[in-house]
Amino acid sequence: MVTLGASTTYNLNFFNRTGFSLSEALDILYNDIDADEIYIEPPEPCVQTDEDSGDENNGEVDNLSARQLRSKAEIKLANNKRYGGIGDDNIGLENILSSKSVTSSEQYKHVSTKSIDEWMKKIKTGKKSFTWIKGGDFEELQKNFPEPDFSSYKNLSIVDIFETFLDYDIINYLVDETRRYALFLNCPDPHITHDEIRCFISILYLSGYNKLPSKKSFWDSMDDMKNEAVCNAMRRDRFLQICRFIHCADNTQIDAKDKAWKIRPLMNMIKNKCLENFVPQKHLAYDESMVKYFGKHGCKQFIRGKPIRFGYKMWCVNTNDGYLVNFELYQGKDPRENEKYNSIFGKAVSPLILMLEDLPNSKKKLPYSLYMDNLFTGINVFNYFKYLGYSAIGTIRQNRIPKNCPLTDKKKFSKKERGSFETAIEKNEGILLVRWMDNAVVTMASTDVGTEKVSSVKRYSQKHKKHINVSRPNLVAQYNQYMGGTDQMDQNIATYRIGVRGKKWWWPIFTWLLEIPMNNSWTLYKKANSKQITQLDFRRELVQTYLQRYGIARIGAGRPSRSLSSSDSRISDDIRYDRMDHLVSYTQEKKRRRCAKDGCKSVGRTMCVKCDVGLCIDCFVNFHKK
């Protein structure tokens, strides 16, 4: 066989049936088909090919002989589909034209509900057959994906970027539902305000990095546990009252089909904010995340071998840096589930398809690369993702590999040297299976990344008693690089997880939902700003700002301090320079206070109401300017 226009070689001995001729292949190329490679069979034996062509220096395709034009040929398109080989006897020019490679956005735009239903019907009835070729491979397809643009978040402060996720609408909803729940319990209206809810949430965040034995310990009378910032922002009994009444749903509007109805409205609002602020990135990981819970509930799961064995399971789609794009709580029979997806792909994969459908139209049509482990990977679902314009890579279980796939048996392959690998490619759809020997046999599937660009990794060899270099296919390297997005999010959340506990079954999910805006806003802040900030510093800045901005200061006994250490050094820049509600007022009981402006030594009776520092009239404006 002859390969034109590419250096990659394929095992082409299988083209032993009549496809179309080289002449027909040239007609196809004249119709502007995006062909990647062309394969031409050599002339029949005893034919003097060196006398068939014209001048070698000035020759064109029009100079080819009749025997060459009648020889069999195969075309491989840029989407890895092949035409002209086995099973393609009746494929004509019009069918090839209909398969012309298009951009992912065009491809998705042309996928109608009717065509998807027809495709699914073929899979369900078993009419969709696969033809496997041992030793096949393909080059990585370079799909155009726009560079992530974080410019809209570049000039936002820590508080501003956080409030793009936990905004006024969510706070207002929590206020309304909390007051409604208090009345539902026949209790007096607690008159909880927006500022108190924000202050309450900031104390929950503080409990993640300043852990104490109980939630009452923040207001302890002894200095070894007492937290002055919390004491000055909210009274203990008020905090406990909000803990009692905090609610996320209307108890008069029960959805009996949804086991998570008490947390569903807040969950949907957080989801929408994650999707709205998602800056498209090419590589997305799909995995499960566990929310720790040891009580009794129908949604509680047990997964052996996980860091968190008991709790609620969340299906999550993450970028490789840990940003949570979308999520769904697993509850067995989900009221949102699609029966068609469940019957064809299974309950583990159908949430991913629904979550991808939730993406805004401008983001949905991009050619994402999806990464998943062997719980989700299957030939049918990868074929479907490719049909939608997405690529997919994942490990695959032995019982999901088609029986007609010519890969070596797993037990026999385990006897090979470490670093050995073999491939098999599905001829029509371009799905690649790779079996690689590492510490154990690993089998992976891919739709657009092959084994080329083989790298090496260090592994310790028991046989040689030293580290050795082991060959690693490019497919495995890509998977290792981009699969850990959900694990990265789990690590971010677990580091400073909210430490206040509750007795209600939905409290762990509620605190997990509050961690999502923190995780995502911190991730966006790092991406948008060259100045790197640790998660701890990010949390502390937010908590300090909220406690000062929304807390209600208590009236302390004794004379107020006049030292400069209690003035501007304790004021967050977000409060000091926000140019909102900074008013001049007399000090309490017109007692004298030292001016907080650097370099000013005056002691007056005026102050800033919001900053709660002494300021003389001359320094008031300059103190609030950068």
Question: For residue 393, what is the domain's CATH number?
Answer: 3.90.350
Q: Is residue 607 one of the residues assigned to a domain?
A: yes
Note down the domain range covering 246: 158-251+543-550
User: What are the beta bridge partners of residue 445?
Assistant: 394, 433
Which among 574, 500, 553 is positioned nearest to 233, based on CA atoms? 553
- Specify which of 11-20, 228-237, 554-563 reaches the highest per-range mean pLDDT: 228-237
The CA distance from 588 to 287, in Å, is 57
Q: Which of 516, 550, 584 delimits the end of a domain?
A: 550
Other C-beta atoms within 10 Å of 102: how many? 15
Decide if 210 contacts 224 (C-beta within 8 A): no
Distances (CA, A) of 171 to 190, 198, 396, 483, 546: 16, 7, 43, 34, 13
Domain check: are 247 and 302 in the same one? no
pLDDT of residue 323: 97
Amino acid at 296: K
Which among 459, 391, 478 is positioned nearest to 429, based on CA atoms? 391
Domain check: are 470 and 585 in the same one? no
DSSP per-residue string spanning 250-264 = -TTS--TT-TTTTTH
The CA distance from 98 to 417, in Å, is 45
Q: Which residues, 6 or more positions from 527, have their beta carbon under 8 angstroms from its beta carbon? A: 148, 150, 153, 279, 321
Which among 132, 131, 242, 261 is positioned nearest to 196, based on CA atoms? 242
Q: Is residue 270 one of the residues assigned to a domain?
A: no
Q: Which residues, 6 or more positions from 224, have their beta carbon under 8 angstroms from its beta carbon? A: none
Domain check: are 323 and 214 in the same one? no
Domain check: are 372 and 487 in the same one? yes
Helix (H/G/I), strand (E/B), else coil: 465: coil
Beta pairing, strands 369-372 & 283-292: parallel
Q: How many residues appear in the chain?
A: 626
414-470 pLDDT, tens digit each: 999 889 999 999 888 889 999 999 889 999 999 988 888 888 888 888 888 888 888
The more confidently predicted of residues 256 and 29 is 256
Percent of the chain topping pLDDT 90: 51
Domain check: are 229 and 316 in the same one? no
List, as own/partner pairs, every contact residues 399-406 make where C-beta atoms lie below 8 angstroms and the sequence separation is at least 24, other chains included: 400/374, 401/433, 401/443, 402/130, 402/132, 404/130, 404/132, 405/132, 405/433, 406/132, 406/133, 406/134
Distances (CA, A) of 483 to 199, 282, 369, 374: 36, 12, 10, 12
Judged on CB neighbours under 10 Å (0-12, 13-18, 19+), 540 is middle
Poorest-confidence range of 18-32, 99-113, 370-384, 548-562?
A: 99-113
The CA distance from 142 to 285, in Å, is 19
The CA distance from 145 to 131, in Å, is 31
pLDDT band at residue 54 using 50, 70 and 90 as cut-offs: very low
502-533 pLDDT, tens digit each: 999 999 999 999 999 999 999 999 999 977 89
130-142 pLDDT, tens digit each: 788 888 887 766 6
Structure tokens at 265: 């409205």
Which among 346, 160, 369 is positioned nearest to 282, based on CA atoms? 369
Decide if 168 contacts 194 (C-beta within 8 A): yes
Helix, strand and coil content of the chain, in percent to the nearest 5, comes to: 35, 15, 45
Position 561 pLDDT exceeds 70: no
In total, how many domains does the chain have? 4
For the chain, how far is it from start to end, CA to CA, in angstroms? 73
Structure tokens at 376: 């989700």
Which among 156, 152, 163, 253 is positioned nearest to 202, based on CA atoms? 163
Average pLDDT, rounded, for the chain: 82
| Look-up of token digits 């019009």 | 94
**Angle at CA of residue 564, ends 560 and 569, nearest 5°:** 110
pLDDT of residue 453: 84
The CA distance from 345 to 353, in Å, is 10
Decide if 448 contacts 140 (C-beta within 8 A): yes
Other C-beta atoms within 10 Å of 332: how many? 10
Position 619 pLDDT exceeds 60: yes
pLDDT band at residue 104 using 50, 70 and 90 as cut-offs: very low
Helix (H/G/I), strand (E/B), else coil: 158: helix
Position 67 pLDDT exceeds 70: no
pLDDT of residue 192: 94
Beta pairing, strands 613-614 & 606-608: antiparallel
The pair phi, psi for residue 95, each rounded to 5°, is -75, -35
Q: Is residue 233 one of the residues assigned to a domain?
A: yes
**Alpha-helical regions (H) of 72-112:** 93-98, 104-109
pLDDT of residue 451: 85
Domain check: are 472 and 589 in the same one? no
What is the mean predicted confidence (pLDDT) over 360-373?
93
Domain check: are 418 and 332 in the same one? yes
Q: Dihedral sign, CA of 245, 250, 256, 258? A: negative
Structure tokens at 422: 């073999």
Q: How far is CA 306 from the centre of its chain?
A: 20
Position 100 pLDDT exceeds 60: no
Judged on CB neighbours under 10 Å (0-12, 13-18, 19+), 260 is buried
Domain check: are 197 and 332 in the same one? no
Amino acid at 589: E
Structure tokens at 205: 């965040």
Helix (H/G/I), strand (E/B), else coil: 163: coil
Which among 323, 205, 336 is positioned nearest to 274, based on CA atoms? 323
Q: Is residue 138 one of the residues assigned to a domain?
A: no
Return the DSSP state at 218: G
Q: Is residue 291 one of the residues assigned to a domain?
A: yes
Q: Is residue 94 one of the residues assigned to a domain?
A: no
Poorest-confidence range of 2-16, 214-228, 318-332?
A: 2-16
Return the DSSP state at 605: S
Domain check: are 330 and 478 in the same one? yes
pLDDT of residue 83: 57
Helix (H/G/I), strand (E/B), else coil: 581: coil
Poorest-confidence range of 4-18, 28-42, 165-179, 261-275?
A: 4-18
Decide if 143 contacts 392 (C-beta within 8 A): no
Q: Is residue 202 one of the residues assigned to a domain?
A: yes
Exposure of 400 in the CB half-sphere (CA atoms within 13 A)? 21
Position 282 pLDDT exceeds 90: yes
Decide if 77 contacts 36 (C-beta within 8 A): yes
Domain check: are 165 and 298 in the same one? no
Q: Is residue 326 one of the residues assigned to a domain?
A: yes
Rounded to the nearest 10 degrees, what angle do helices 194-209 and 535-550 cross at? 150
Domain check: are 233 and 321 in the same one? no
Distances (CA, A) of 114 to 102, 111, 285, 359: 20, 8, 28, 20
201-242 pLDDT, tens digit each: 999 999 999 999 999 999 999 989 999 999 999 999 999 999
Helix (H) / strand (E) element for 318: namely strand 310-319
pLDDT band at residue 71 using 50, 70 and 90 as cut-offs: low
The more confidently predicted of residues 498 and 334 is 498
Q: Which residues, 6 or more positions from 3, have their beta carbon under 8 angstroms from its beta carbon? A: 9, 10, 37, 39
Domain check: are 354 and 465 in the same one? yes
